[in-house]
Structure 1
Amino acid sequence: MSDDVATTAHFENRYQRELPDTYARVSPTPLKNPRWVAWNSALAHDLNWPHPPDNDLLHAFAGHGLLEGTKPIAQKYAGHQFGAFNPDLGDGRGLLLGEWNDGQGQHWDFHLKGAGKTPFSRFGDGRAVLRSSIREYLGSEALHGLGIPTTRALALVGSDEPVMRERLEHGAMLLRIAKTHIRFGHFEWFAFSGQTGKLEQLLNFCVTHLFTDCSRQPDPAAALFDAVTVRTAHLIAHWMSTGFCHGVMNTDNMSIIGDTFDYGPYAFLDAMQPGFICNHTDTSGRYAYNRQPDVAFWNLQCLAQALAGIADQSALRDSLSRFAKHYNERFLELMGARLGLATVMDEDQSLIRDWMQLASDETVDFHRPLRALAETEASDWATLDDDYVDRDRFRRFRQALAERRQQEPGGQTLALASNPVSILRTHHVQAVIDACEQGDDSLLHSYLAALQSPFDARVEWQRWRQLPPPDYQAQPLSCSS
């Protein structure tokens, strides 16, 4: 890193300066006997982060001291949780340390998860555990590797401090990095508590720092909502095209900039199961895999309601009416790429639907068959027939795809670049967690490397291509996951 970047990079605190009285100042509660578990050197490079992961930094990211320029706060917000409005939400176990200015014009929130109790902890202990922190670290890097907008993690610190969840576990802290931690729920809090002035301040903050193009529009609030609608539609299309299930799409877990946010009981599909539920508290299936587009639309309606007092309501309705179009176009584009189609034409929609229906009816793995189609020359696709119970049905599909691919000279190259070799699978994550809880971080580092380069087929990552055992049944996870 050049000296001029090193001297211009620093921490700022724009959120608390421009939005006073919307947070609580809280100091981290130190984690006992901290140790490095993981350090994201690739992200550190992207951030122009100048400090090595030494003991001084370890202690800072374990709550034993503050980095120069940081002023930790716990943000206050609200949100709809499983459809019911909750006005009493906020950062209950995480602190926004400050906003890192990387010296190249980009600010990054440094958010320390597991930092101890805050005024918004309710009955929680404010801690994170190693298990859930590993899941967020791997999950966010997996999505980033696939090109899906997401928060990321710079550092993971473990300890031998006992923390009680369903069982006694090891405490940990995760340093989450995001361009913002502003959620739909921030807007809901101000709107539904009658704080119109604060709502306008929040809007101005977002327009000034996150949606600068909206500042030139006659109705910045409506313009911001339209941009959020597009970003959210595209994000959910990414999730659906890669078999990702978030598990708890409450409005307080929806990022205003369209990033994947808050990794709790998430999972990637193994078998293609449209109604897959990964959250064990989701007894109604509200957040099932196939309901994510509908839930995203519902959440956007909540955001529109929060903005209705400061934006043209007809413009908000118009933006909502275009959500399905934005989602469908992006989903078809992404699924088309997985089939090797650079340009999705109208007639290709039935081809994509046929594949999704075939995969669902036969409950085949969501990922492996598409990778097999990508790795195999179209002239040899007949060798894949035996992977399907209804061989004739698959034969009709592959013949139609082969004919269509004749119009796409770079189809196989596109398919190889769109179908990952390494996918985050729950049984692999559990193996990593089990090893780390015994003090062995080697599997974590191996899996992390594979997920960061998911389209590379390397011999040393062969174990991460293994499917779950035939009798394996992924269990729904809790929000403490």
Structure 2
Amino acid sequence: MASANDTIGTAITSDDLPFFNSFAELPPAFYTRLMPTPLPAPYFVAASAKAAQLVGLNADDLANDDFVALFTGNKVPPRAKPLSAVYSGHQFGVWAGQLGDGRAILLGELKGPSGPMELQLKGAGMTPYSRMGDGRAVLRSSIREFLCSEAMAALGVPTTRGLIITGSEQGVIRETVESAAVVTRMAPSFVRFGSFEHWFYRDKPEQLRTLADYVIQTFYPELAGDPNPYKALLTEVTRRTAHLMAHWQAVGFMHGVMNTDNMSILGLTLDYGPFGFMEAFDSGHICNHTDQQGRYSYANQPQIGHWNCFALGQALLPLIGSVDDTEEALEIYRPEFGQRMDALLHAKLGLATVQEDDSGLFDAMFKLMQDSHVDFTQFFRQLGNLRVDDAAADTVIRDLFIDRGAFDAWALTYRTRLRLENSHDGERKASMDRTNPKYVLRNYLAQVAIEKAQQKDFSEVSRLLAVLEKPFDEQPGNEHYAALPPDWASHLEVSCSS
């Protein structure tokens, strides 16, 4: 499939980009066509070379004024068809009615080596779906979304991507006055569970079918010949969502706002707001301080993923045709989550075989981590250094625990399990180091980059991006990016405000 550079040649300007927009071919009820609202004196903040490659662009080109204007919304290429989509959703378990792209404008799609990707400007101005919002994003939240999108991709977690951040001195009022920014994010599609709920709750079966047919034909063509393609669609989306939840749990990622309007029909991590990576392990940890009831805690994520699939199933019921078929499609969630989580845990512990009592080993491990509030990322990374026949070498990992005796008891069981499959220390460590990252986007790392960026020093954003793009490598000289959070980081809070 041709890329932008293949299509245009090497002398590329934003006007040359071969945009097309399959979503814009849907009836007008699905979106509003509109232009982005320009920002004064936009400037370049950062770009991802790896994301740029997905649409045949060169990250170095993105820093020039022409592309900065494009990705701020200050100019629109001739072939782009900007629009904002309408959708609805359940927010914190409560039906919220019509929502929609309140500050996101889809420019269109570009073809890349792996297929088309939609390019969406987040923070490009008010839309008919902004409700009481201003349609803007701030530099702080834009940096967080950009970095985490790329960090998750490097971890192997399905996700939308972050292409570029641009900024402006225009003030945006949140808790304080902050500077405006636009982050361009990419995905094959930004259709959400809430996109289907919108038409179901409005009793618009024709539009519901139109959207489902578009999604199947464009993204799941293998389902088109199924006797019940809508049941097959729900089954596949449920499977992908179950796998996504397992990936989140395995890397200690917490989304923070798992509303149905933030759930991707492609099983991608979508809408990075108040997210966080687990540090001191607490299964009940809530990364979003707006979530006072803890609905979206780390421990609850898998069951909320299932709940959201049920909400999608309810919306698709008129197309599927029967409650029994809908429930049968949803039944795949628990076994798929369990199997994927089990496989990821075996990989994280370097276990090459499956034994009957492995679940007990895992449960005891998480209890041990909970009791000592051990750092999630450091524990799994250090576990790769354990030697089967040398408990005396456990000093570093033992020191992560308050109750070292409890760790010793668990490690004895773990060693016995490793001997059962004749595990080799060197091979196991290499395998575990490819599974357990050394570097994740800790909140304090993002905060340091944000504070420098707010002073117009964007170097730390780029440095941190480079580190996060290789999360499994040792990276000599960058070890401080893997350090435990400093004391001041305990005061950091993230919420739905951005």
Q: Do the structures match in fold with TM over 0.5?
A: yes
Cα deviation, 1:18-76, whole Å, max 9, x if unaligned, reads 34321111111111111110011111123212682221111111111112311110100
One of 190, 206, 225 as aligned partner of 2:215: 206
Quick check: 1:19–1:202 contact (8 Å CA) kept in 2? no
Match of 1:404 among 417, 438, 444: 417
1:92–1:117 Cα contact (<8 Å) kept: yes
Distance in 2 of aligned mates of 1:343 and 1:186? 42
Question: Residue 470 of structure 1: CA displacement?
Answer: 4.9
Matches within 5 A, 1:384-399: 384=395, 385-399=398-412
In structure 1, the residue matched to 2:455 is 438
2:107 pairs with 1:97: yes
Check the 8 A contact 2:150/2:468 in 1, yes or no.
Answer: yes
State the partner residue of 1:331: 341
Judged with a 3 Å threshold, the aligned counterparts in structure 2 of structure 1 residues 413 and 50 are, in CA distance, closer, same or farther, namely closer
With 248-257 and 437-446 compared, the bigger mean Cα shift is at: 437-446
Q: Which residue number corresponds to residue 14 of structure 2?
A: none
Letter matched to residue 374 of structure 2: V
Equivalent of residue 28 in structure 1, options 28, 32, 36: 36
1:63 equivalent in structure 2: 73
Q: Deviations over 1:156-183 (max 9, x none)?
A: 0012111111111110001000110000
Q: Tell me, what secondary structure is at the counterpart of 2:300? A: helix
- The count of aligned residue pairs is 480
C-alpha separation between the residues in 1 aligned to 2:338 and 2:483? 32
1:5 equivalent in structure 2? 6
CA drift at 1:7 = 4.7
Matches within 5 A, 1:178-327: 178-311=187-320, 312-327=322-337
How many Å apart are 1:381 and its aligned residue? 4.3
Contact 2:3-2:55 within 8 A present in 1 as well:
no
Question: TM-score by structure 2 length?
Answer: 0.93
Secondary structure, in 3 states, of the residue corresponding to 2:158?
coil
Contact kept in structure 1, 2:139 and 2:179, CA below 8 Å: yes
Answer with 176-185 or 31-40: which moved more: 31-40
- 1:34-49 matched pairs, under 5 angstroms: 34-49=42-57
- In the aligned structure 1, how far is the partner of 2:465 from the partner of 2:391? 32
Q: 1:471: Cα distance to partner?
A: 6.7
Deviates more, 1:374-383 or 1:418-427: 374-383
2: CA distance between counterparts of 1:56 and 1:381? 60
- Given that residues 127 and 135 in structure 2 are in contact (C-alpha distance below 8 angstroms), is that contact kept between their aligned partners in structure 1? yes
Distance 2:491 2:151 in 1: 19
Q: Does 1:428 align with 2:415?
A: no
Alpha-carbon contact 1:6-1:50 (below 8 Å) kept = no
Cα drift, residue 322 of structure 1? 2.5
**Any idea what the Cα deviations from partners look like across 1:128-161, whole Å, max 9, x if unmatched?**
0000000001111111111000001111001211
The aligned amino acid for 1:268 is F
Checking the alignment, whether the CA contact within 8 Å between 1:341 and 1:414 is kept in structure 2 is no
- TM-aligned CA deviation for residue 399 of structure 1: 2.0
SS in structure 2 of the partner of residue 310 of structure 1: helix
2:86 equivalent to 1:73: no
Query: Does the 8 A contact of 1:373 with 1:381 survive in 2?
Result: no
Amino acid at match of 1:12: F
* Distance in 1 (alpha carbons) for counterparts of 2:479 and 2:429: 22
Secondary structure, aligned partner of 1:371: helix
CA contact (8 A) 2:5 2:56 kept: no
Q: Which runs of 5+ in 1 are unaligned?
A: none
Give the distance between the partners of 1:233 and 1:371, measured in 2 at CA: 25
Partner Cα distance (1:277, 1:63) in 2: 35
Whether the aligned pair in 2 keeps the contact of 1:333 and 1:343 (CA below 8 Å) is: no
Q: Aligned to 2:363, which of 328, 353, 370? A: 353
Matching residue within 107, 112, 120 for 2:121: 112
Identify the residue that residue 12 of structure 2 maps to in structure 1: none
Q: Secondary structure at the match of 2:319?
A: coil
Contact 1:351–1:401 (CA<8 Å) still a contact in 2?
Answer: yes
For 2:474, which of 450, 454, 457 is the aligned residue? Answer: 457
Take 1:333 and 1:10, find their aligned partners in 2: how far apart are those partners? 41
Amino acid at match of 2:98: D
For structure 2, list consecutive stretches of 5 or more residues without a partner in the other structure.
10-16
Separation in 2, partners of 1:124, 1:4: 37
Q: CA deviation at 1:77?
A: 0.5
- CA drift of 1:466 comes to 1.2
Q: Secondary structure at the match of 1:274?
A: coil
Q: RMSD in angstroms over aligned alpha carbons?
A: 1.9
SS of 2:159 mapped into structure 1: coil
Task: Give, in angstroms, the shift of residue 474 of structure 1.
Answer: 5.0
Equivalent residue letter for 1:110: L
Deviations 1:260-312 (A, max 9, x none): 00000000011001111111221111111110111111111111110111104
Matched, 1:158 2:167: yes
Instruction: Check 1:405–1:27 CA distance in 2 against 1; reply closer, same or farther (3 A cut).
Output: same
CA distance in 2, matches of 1:471, 1:170: 24
Q: CA deviation at 1:118?
A: 0.5
